[in-house]
Structure 1
């Protein structure tokens, strides 16, 4: 019985610890990207996007707003005729 129970428990504990470590690592990398536009641009290029300086600033601002706990007011909808809210 113990020959089955110990590997299963070890697997479960390993998955939980791996997930927690991964979350903290990802959060630290996202924080570094907020302060380093070169790192953000490198990640965008790896994903197949070329970002100019205005897009980089906008992405950094968006990441900072999300990191602030989401207590920022959302932007009002634009008067774009292609926006689903304004279509008829």
Structure 2
């Protein structure tokens, strides 16, 4: 019986620890990208986007706003579809 329980518990604990490590690694990479425009541009090229300096500055500003917890809406509208008459029931 223990030969079945121990591998399952080990798998679950390993997945949780791996997820936590992945989250911290991703956060550190995102903070590095905020201060390093070359790294941000490299990531965009890997995704198939070519960004000019104005687009890079805007992307960095958006990342800084998200990282600080600020939910500013710079588009002037709302980000939800519930205010759009097409999506009302």
Name the TM tier (shorter chain). 0.7 to 0.9
Gaps of 5+ in 1: 78-84
Query: What's the Cα RMSD here?
Result: 1.5
Inter-partner Cα distance in structure 2 for 1:2 and 1:57: 56
Residues 77-88 of structure 1 mapped to structure 2, 5 A cutoff: 77=77
Q: Which runs of 5+ in 2 are unaligned?
A: 78-83, 85-89
Bigger relative contact order, structure 1 or 2, given CA contacts below 8 A and separation 6+?
A: 1
After TM superposition, which residue ranges in structure 1, 4 or more long, deviate above 4 angstroms? none
Whole-angstrom distance in 2 between the partners of 1:67 and 1:74: 14
TM-score after normalising by structure 1 = 0.83
